[in-house]
Structure 1
Amino acid sequence: MAYQQVGEGPGLVLLHGFSHDSRVWRPQMENLKEDFTVFAWDAPGAGRSSDPPSPFALADWADCLAACLRTAGLERAHILGLSWGGILAQEFYRRHSSVVESLILAGTYAGWKGSLPDPLPQERLAACLRDASLPRDDFVAKYLPSMFSRSPNPQAVEELAGIMRGFHPTGFRLMARASAVDTRSILPTITVPTLLLWGESDGRSPIAVAHQLHQAITGARLAVIPRAGHVSNLENADAFNKEIRDFCLAIPRT
């Protein structure tokens, strides 16, 4: 497993989406290192990490993450997950809650089956399994537009395109299968401070999903990032970073 770690202060763990890797967190690693020890991994099956064996489920990624955090010396941290990373963050809380200082769930789901109406979860999974075999440029052309609002920053679009060209077909298939789950039973058990971050123009995880999680997690706060779609951390990094900084630094350290 590969990871990046920068800065000093409270731990902040960044979990990327299923066609991305740790590079998607560049704006956060550059800006938030002033206040946090920022950790961003390449999940098994992404970036510089090896592909995991099949089958490989959310629990396996959660346990791998726990081992990786121990190696990095992070005993407790704020856990931030974007999209697939947010589904993983929920499972990580279920299995390793003692590590979790707070949860930040960004543009995510209670699993596709827990948040999207039938037959959309099945159709989305079937498309992902099929599209993992596409040539890289065709893959990017299909999935990149849904990551942004209608008027994105061209630099952000090109940056994410470069990241997505490095996707792992095997990892993408496994992460898609792991996304097609239902994590609604986890949500009422969450007792740590929780922030929900949603791009106002998120087309992959509509704002209705944010309201679903908001109602299910006691005390959760919802913040909407203006001028941003699914990857709000890239499209409006300044607003995203401010929400993270304000939320995390207001929590007394334990």
Structure 2
Amino acid sequence: METVEVDGLRIAYQRAGQGPALVLFHGAGEDSRIWRPQLEGLSDEFTVYAWDAPGCGQSDDPDPEMSAAELGAITAGFLRAAVPAKPHLLGLSWGSMVVLELYRGDPGLPASLVLASAYAGWAGSLPPEEVERRHAQVEAEIDQPPEKFIDEWLPTLFTDKADPAVVAEASRIMADVRPAGLRALLSASGRADYRPVLPTISIPTLLLYGADDQRSPLHVAHELHRQIPGSKLAVIPDVGHVVHLEAPDAFNTEVRTFLHGIAG
């Protein structure tokens, strides 16, 4: 792991490979280890960076009442400190909200966006009652031992066809979630609505989803596709929300093809 200091916080990250910079932003309750198949599979022609978000992995805990703007500023500070100019950004699930918040505040910073299993924020993509249900669920889980709620989350992240070893790997990573991290991420993003940002996106954007995603269903994907000018939508069949783990080869191929198209 490498580290940089941003706004008084130590932000940890992994780096692998050489080539154009591709930065990976993980989902809530995870850390950079969740990107193992991408750090291994895409580093043959990209410099792949995977951060530990504030409060996750080996990064410091932020203010528990962190705002979306503060998260965006930390993200921009991390990119400026650790990553060459104009990187490609890839955010999955909650990480897609991080990317959209970064773009809202710093649209000139990234070269392209990959939004995987993405939302326009929960409030921008889901019915109000579902937003409140999810918010209350995470709020209730923050101070519980992770083993009490991980087994409830896993069936919503994977299909029943997923490799048990991959599911077990994700479970081990999620077992290290910290209350401080969940509390800050919920504060920053729990009721976020990025619908106003979508039509302003003017850089190449790939939307990448699993066909059987329970948490961010395909109607969410199609709405983002409709709202983001010139965006591309790729759907990988028979996989769920953590598509990068359940179908890593197909996921990496879609990302690679998209980035090659930009370079071409």
Structure-2-length-normalised TM-score = 0.93
1:16-35 Cα deviation digits (max 9, x unpaired): 00111101100000010011
Q: Give the conservation status (yes or no) of the 8 Å contact 1:43–1:61.
A: no
CA contact (8 A) 1:86 1:105 kept: yes
Give the 4+ runs in structure 1 shifted more than 2 A.
none
What root-mean-square deviation, in Å, do the aligned CA atoms of Structure 1 and Structure 2 show?
1.2
Check conservation: 1:20, 1:47, Cα contact below 8 A.
Answer: yes
- Structure 1 partner of 2:164: 154
Provide the aligned length of Structure 1 versus Structure 2: 253
**SS at structure 2 position matched to 1:97:** coil
Structure 1 position 200 matched with structure 2 position 201: no
State whether structure 2 residue 244 is matched by structure 1 residue 217.
no
5+ residue gaps, structure 2: 1-10
Matches within 5 A, 1:180-195: 180-195=191-206
Deviation of residue 94 (structure 1)?
A: 1.3
Matched-pair identity in %: 46
Tell me how far apart the structure 1 counterparts of residues 183 and 137 of structure 2 sit (CA, whole Å). 10
Question: C-alpha separation between the residues in 2 aligned to 1:73 and 1:100?
Answer: 11
Match of 1:234 in 2: 245
Q: Which letter does structure 1 place at the counterpart of 2:246?
A: E
* Aligned equivalent of 1:243: 254
Return the TM-score normalized by structure 1: 0.96
Aligned to 2:3: none
Return the alpha-carbon distance in structure 2 between the equivalents of residues 207 and 179 of structure 1: 21
1:174 is displaced (CA, Å) by 2.2
- SS of the counterpart of 2:106? helix
Distance of 2:194 and 2:227 partners within structure 1: 11
- Structure 2 CA distance for aligned equivalents of residues 147 and 22 of structure 1: 17
Answer whether contact 1:87 1:179 (CA < 8 A) is retained. no
Aligned to 1:84: 94
Gaps of 5+ in 1: none
